[in-house]
Structure 1
Amino acid sequence: MADRSFLDWPFFEDRHRALADALDGWAAERLGDLDHADTDATCRALVRHLGAAGYLEHSGAMDGQLDVRTLCLIRETLARHDGLADFAFAMQGLGTGAISLFGTEAQKREWLPLTRSGQAIAAFALTEPQSGSDVANSTMTAVRDGGDYVLNGEKTWISNGGIADVYTLFARTGEAPGAKGLSAFVVPAGLPGFEIAERLETIAPHPLATLRFTDCRIPASALLGEPGRGFAVAMSVLDVFRSTVAAAALGFARRALDEALDRTATRTVQGAPLFDLQMVQGHIADMALDVDAAALLVYRAAWTRDSGAPRITREAAMAKLFATDRAQRVVDMGVQLHGGDGVRSGHIAERLYREIRALRIYEGASDVQKVIIARQTLAADQDR
C-alpha cells in the first residue's frame, strides 16, 4: 500500500484528497490487468475510460484556470498503477492545454467536449528533428496564403502521433527571428498533405510518430492565440505540465518503493527477511528520502501556480529535474533489491525501469532544466 500521508500536507484541500482517493480506487479496479500488447488500441481505450469516468475533465483549464495540484495528483496516482494510463491522461492534457488556455470560443467548443469525454485524442506537436529542446530553432513553416496557412516541415517524437484526432502544432510564421517568429495552430488529423512519416518504437512502448507536412492547408481560423506568440503559448503550457512530469516520476518511484518493501519483507536470506540486513535498510531509507523530497518539490511547484503565480519556471524545473533523476535512482535500487526477478521481462520492477528513463528527456531534458534553474536563480539575485 502506497504511503498516503502526504495528502495531509497543507498543499492540499479536501477536494484534492477526495479526488486522489476516488482515483486510486478506480485505478486499482480498472488497471490491474491492463493489456499492453496493442499499445494504440490500449491508449484509445484508456482515453475513453478516463473520459467516461470524468477524469479528463481535469486535463485542461476550467474557467481559464488549470488546477496543477489536481493534474499532479492524477498523474502520480495513474503512474503508480500503470505507466500507459498516465501517458494517456497526460497527453490528453498537454494536447489540449493550449486550446483551453489560449483558444477561441469556437476552437474550445469544437474540441474540448470531445477530448474531455474521451471521444477524441489530442497531441502536442512541438519537437523537430534538428531542434529538440531548442524550440526557438524550429524550421517548420506556416505561410499565409489568402484565407489559409500552408504548412511545410516535420515534427518528430510526437506522443499520440498516428492515433490523435487533433494536434496543437507550432510552426514558423516569420514575424521575427528565433522564438518571436513562431505561432501555434489547431490541426485536425487526416488533412491532405499531412502524413505519418514514421512510427517510433521505444523501450517503454507508447504511440509516437514523426509527422510530415507537405503544402498542407489549414484555415486562418486554426491560429491559436496571436501570430508570433507560439513560443509563449508553448512555454506557458510546458511550465504547467513540466510539474506533472515530475509527478509521474514520483508515482513510478512510489511504486518501486512499495514493491521493494514487499520484496524485502517476504524474501528470506539465511532464515531471516531480507529487510533485516542493515545494508538493505539503508537502501530503503535512501529510497524513502528521495520519494518524500521529490514530493515536496512537486507539490510546492503545483501549489505556487495554483496560488496565483503567473509562471513557475524555476519551481517546475527544480521539480522535474529532482523528481525524475531521483525516481530513476529509486527504480534502479528497486531492480537491485529484486535480484534476478528485477530484470525478468514483464516483472513490475523491469517495467518501471523501462518506463522511468524517458521522463529525464522529454519536456526538457535534465541538463536543460539545470540551465533554466541557473538562469532563473541569477535573474532573481539581480532583481534583489
Structure 2
Amino acid sequence: MADTSFLNWPFFENRHRELAEQLEVWCKGNLPVDHSDVDAACRGLVSALGAAGFLTHSGTTGQERLDVRSLCLIRETLARYDGLADFSFAMQGLGMGAVSLFGSQEQREWLKQTRAGKAISAFALTEPASGSDVANIQMMAKKTDDDFVLDGEKTWISNGGIADLYVVFARTGEAAGAKGLSAFLVPATTAGLSVEERLEVIAPHPLARLKFKAVKLPRAALIGDAGSGFKIAMSVLDVFRSTVGAAALGFARRALEETLTRCADRQLFGAPMHELQMIQGHIAEMAVDIDASALLVYRAAWTKDTGAARVTREAAMAKLFATDQAQGVIDKAVQIHGGDGVRKGSVVESLYREIRALRIYEGASDVQKIVIARQEISRKQGENK
C-alpha cells in the first residue's frame, strides 16, 4: 500500500481523511477494470463512480464551492489504481466545471445527471490551430435574433464520441482575442454536431475531433455572459489544473510501490536488489520528488479552498513540477524493472504510457513555465510602482 502519511499534513481536515479512506476501500474492490473496450470501460466507470457517490465531488448543484483538495485526493487515489478511472472522474469535473462555476439554474440541472454518473460530459476547448493558445480560438458562434449558430472544429476532445453533452468555446466577436470568446452548453444530440474522427493515443482514452456545421443553439445555451468565455475557461483550469498534478502524483506513488516490491523480491549479486547503494539512491530520489510534488499540489488546492480568488501561479507550479517529476519517477521504475519494465501490460509500462499526456494537456509544461514567469514578473512590476 502506498504511503498515506501526507494525510496528516495541515492541508487536510478530517472529512478529507475519511474520503481518502472510503475511496481506498472502493478502489481495492473495483479497480482496475478491463480496458479492452475503452468506451465501454469509461461508461462503466462513470456509472460506478456515480453510484458510489464519488462523483458528487465533481460539481456543485448549489452555491457551495468545489473542494479542490477532495478533487485532488480522488484523482491521486484513482490514478494509483487505474489511469482510466482517474480519467473518467476527471472529465466529469472538467467537463462541467464551467456550469458549476458560471451556469444558470437551468444548465445546472445537468449536474444532477453528471454527478450521478448518468450523463457523460466533455470540455471542448482545443482546436487544430489553438492548443494552449486559447485566445486564438477560431470557431465562430454567430448571433441571430433568437439563437447562436456555431461553425468550426474542435480536436483532442476527451470523452469525444461518448459524451452526452459538451461545454464548447467559440468566438462571438465582442472584441479581438481573448475578450471575444463565449462558452456554450451543447447536448451531443444537437443537429449539426458530428464526430469526425476518433483519435488513438499511447494510453488509450476516448478522444475525438468534432465538427460543428450550422449548429443552432438557443440563447439559454450561453454559459455566463457573452464575451466571458476566456475568463470562464481560465477559471475552470485554475480549479482543475492542480488535479492534473494530483493524478501524476498517484502514478508516481504507484511506480515507487512497484519498485520497492521489485527490489525486495529480486535477487541480484547474491542479495536483495534494495541493498545496492545505487538502487537506494534512485529510491531516495523518487521519494523526495513525490513528497515535493505532493506539497505543491496540496498547497495549491488548500490555497484555492481557503478563499483565494485565483491560484494561477500555484496551480501552474503544481502541474509543471508534479507531472515532470512523475515522468522521472516512472522512468526510474522502468529502468529498475529491467526487461519486465518494458513488457506490454506490466504496471510500470502502463504508467510510462499514462504519464506522458499529463505533461501536455491542460497547458503543456513549457506553457506552465510562461504562466509562472509572467506571474513573477507581474508581481515584481507591482512592487516597483
The TM-score, its normalising length taken from structure 1, stands at: 0.99
1:118 aligns with 2:117: yes
TM alignment of 1:231-380, pairs within 5 A: 231-380=230-379
Name the counterpart of 2:76: 76
1:12 aligns with 2:33: no
Residue 270 of structure 1 deviates from its aligned partner by 2.1
TM alignment of 1:134-149, pairs within 5 A: 134-149=133-148
Per-residue CA distance 1:243-268 (angstroms, 9 max, x = gap): 00000000000000000000001100
Name the counterpart of 2:67: 67
Residue 93 of structure 1 deviates from its aligned partner by 0.2
Letter in 1 for 2:347: I
TM alignment of 1:150-189, pairs within 5 A: 150-189=149-188
Residues in 1 aligned to 2:329 and 2:72: alpha-carbon distance in whole angstroms: 19
Name the counterpart of 2:203: 204
TM alignment of 1:42-61, pairs within 5 A: 42-61=41-60
Letter in 2 for 1:239: D
What SS class does the counterpart of residue 259 from structure 1 fall into? helix
Letter in 1 for 2:89: F
Letter in 1 for 2:257: D
Residues in 1 aligned to 2:12 and 2:266: alpha-carbon distance in whole angstroms: 37
Letter in 1 for 2:372: I
What SS class does the counterpart of residue 254 from structure 2 fall into? helix
Letter in 2 for 1:247: A
What SS class does the counterpart of residue 151 from structure 2 fall into? strand
Tell me whether 196-205 or 58-67 shows the greater mean CA deviation. 58-67
1:190 aligns with 2:189: yes
Per-residue CA distance 1:163-203 (angstroms, 9 max, x = gap): 00010110000000000000000000021111001000000
What SS class does the counterpart of residue 264 from structure 1 fall into? helix
Name the counterpart of 1:25: 25
State whether residues 49 and 118 of structure 1, in contact with CA within 8 Å, keep that contact through their aligned partners in structure 2.
yes
Gaps of 5+ in 1: none
Residues in 2 aligned to 1:190 and 1:21: alpha-carbon distance in whole angstroms: 39
TM alignment of 1:95-134, pairs within 5 A: 95-109=95-109, 111-134=110-133
Residues in 1 aligned to 2:64 and 2:101: alpha-carbon distance in whole angstroms: 6
Letter in 2 for 1:334: A
Residues in 2 aligned to 1:298 and 1:211: alpha-carbon distance in whole angstroms: 32
Letter in 2 for 1:326: Q
Per-residue CA distance 1:323-345 (angstroms, 9 max, x = gap): 00000000000000100000000
Residues in 2 aligned to 1:67 and 1:129: alpha-carbon distance in whole angstroms: 33
Residue 375 of structure 1 deviates from its aligned partner by 0.5
Name the counterpart of 2:2: 2
State whether residues 331 and 349 of structure 1, in contact with CA within 8 Å, keep that contact through their aligned partners in structure 2.
yes
Name the counterpart of 2:89: 89
What SS class does the counterpart of residue 184 from structure 1 fall into? strand
Residue 63 of structure 1 deviates from its aligned partner by 2.4
Letter in 2 for 1:344: R
State whether residues 59 and 93 of structure 1, in contact with CA within 8 Å, keep that contact through their aligned partners in structure 2.
yes
Letter in 2 for 1:106: E
State whether residues 64 and 101 of structure 1, in contact with CA within 8 Å, keep that contact through their aligned partners in structure 2.
no
What SS class does the counterpart of residue 152 from structure 1 fall into? strand
What SS class does the counterpart of residue 96 from structure 2 fall into? helix
Per-residue CA distance 1:28-79 (angstroms, 9 max, x = gap): 11004x1000000000000000000000000013524110000000000000
The TM-score, its normalising length taken from structure 2, stands at: 0.98
Letter in 2 for 1:332: D
Letter in 2 for 1:80: R
Residue 138 of structure 1 deviates from its aligned partner by 0.4
Residues in 1 aligned to 2:50 and 2:378: alpha-carbon distance in whole angstroms: 42
Q: CA RMSD in A?
A: 0.7
Gaps of 5+ in 2: none
Residues in 2 aligned to 1:270 and 1:285: alpha-carbon distance in whole angstroms: 21
Residues in 2 aligned to 1:273 and 1:219: alpha-carbon distance in whole angstroms: 67
State whether residues 126 and 170 of structure 1, in contact with CA within 8 Å, keep that contact through their aligned partners in structure 2.
yes
Letter in 1 for 2:191: P
Size of the alignment, in residue pairs?
A: 382
Letter in 1 for 2:279: V
Letter in 1 for 2:54: Y
What SS class does the counterpart of residue 127 from structure 1 fall into? coil
Name the counterpart of 2:227: 228
What SS class does the counterpart of residue 361 from structure 1 fall into? coil
* Greater than 6 Å deviation, 4+ residue runs: none
State whether residues 158 and 210 of structure 1, in contact with CA within 8 Å, keep that contact through their aligned partners in structure 2.
yes
Letter in 1 for 2:25: G
State whether residues 64 and 100 of structure 1, in contact with CA within 8 Å, keep that contact through their aligned partners in structure 2.
no
